[in-house]
Amino acid sequence: MIIQDIKELEEKSIYIIREATNNFKNVAALWSMGKDSTSMLMLARKAFLGKVPFPVIHIDNGIDFPETYKFRDELAKKWNLDLIVAKSEIKPEMSGFACCGANKTVALKKLMKEKGFDALIVSIRRDEHGIRAKERYVSPRNKEFKWNYKNQPAEVWGNYLSELGKGGHVRVHPLLDWNEIDIWNYTKQEKIPMNPLYFSRNGFRYRSLGCTHCTVPIKSNAKNIDDIIKELETTEVEERAGREQDKEKSYVMEKLRALGYM
């Protein structure tokens, strides 16, 4: 895994986050309490003199890990976040693609409509998945949340201003350039609080965090950030190998994203 220059990445992300708040009236961010969206909040604090200037949304299906809820409440208080919890239903017969597609996306759609957000900051990274690597920094979604990936807007020389379809919104991706290892180097440098589930207990840790139903831990003895960085330098395993929704069939991520999944 390639280690990039953190200062350069930080500059780019700060620029993109500021572009979002400058060009759109009603910005919000998704916060899963994972390492990426938490790092993004750190970047937003740096971009806006210490305070995250937009609401952060947790799509809560009620089956996240207890550690995740605790981490959410503590950090929301510490960083004075404007936290919105959007409850999503969970149907026991569903899992994987159907579950993420139906439950999380539906709850997000409902909330977006209610609050009228026109831009949503999502902390995806290019190195996570081949489909996410195809994303623009600022990417329109139509009223039905659909991603028209066959006709994405031009994005030349860092001009992220794209046209908005009526009733749609844009996804803003400030972390697109970051690699998994860069996030951990940044977490270390900035002492960003992290969900304890990332660190090894009894020989296992979570490398990518979802809900309790579809996320499985990996074998690992990495008990702290330095161990994780060392582990990532040599790993041959995909980051999202423990995420059920990525694996079922080919193109499932493409379908999920086209339908509005994050």
| Interacting residue ranges for another protein, rule: CB under 8 A | 2, 4-5, 7-8, 10-11, 14-15, 18-19, 21-22, 45-50, 53, 126-127, 129-131, 133-134, 136, 149-150, 152-159, 161, 163, 179, 236-238, 241, 250-251, 254
Helix residue ranges per DSSP H, the chain:
6-23, 35-47, 66-78, 96-99, 105-115, 180-190, 225-234, 252-258
Closest separation in Å from C-beta 232 to another protein: 12
Q: Which is nearer to another protein, 14 or 90 (by Cβ)?
A: 14
Q: Which is nearer to another protein, 7 or 92 (by Cβ)?
A: 7
Closest separation in Å from C-beta 231 to another protein: 14
Q: Which residue in 94, 163, 178 sits closest to 132, CA to CA?
A: 178
Q: Which is nearer to another protein, 62 or 158 (by Cβ)?
A: 158
Closest separation in Å from C-beta 9 to another protein: 10
Q: CB under 8 Å to 104, separation ≥6 — which residues?
A: 59, 61, 88, 261, 262
Q: CA torsion sign, 181 to 183 to 186 to 192? A: negative
Type and span of the H or E element at 56 = strand 56-60
Closest separation in Å from C-beta 15 to another protein: 5
Q: Which is nearer to another protein, 126 or 188 (by Cβ)?
A: 126
Q: Which is nearer to another protein, 67 or 254 (by Cβ)?
A: 254
Count of residues making up the chain: 262
Closest separation in Å from C-beta 216 to another protein: 16
The pairing of strands 27-30 and 119-121 is: parallel
What single-letter DSSP state applies at residue 248? S
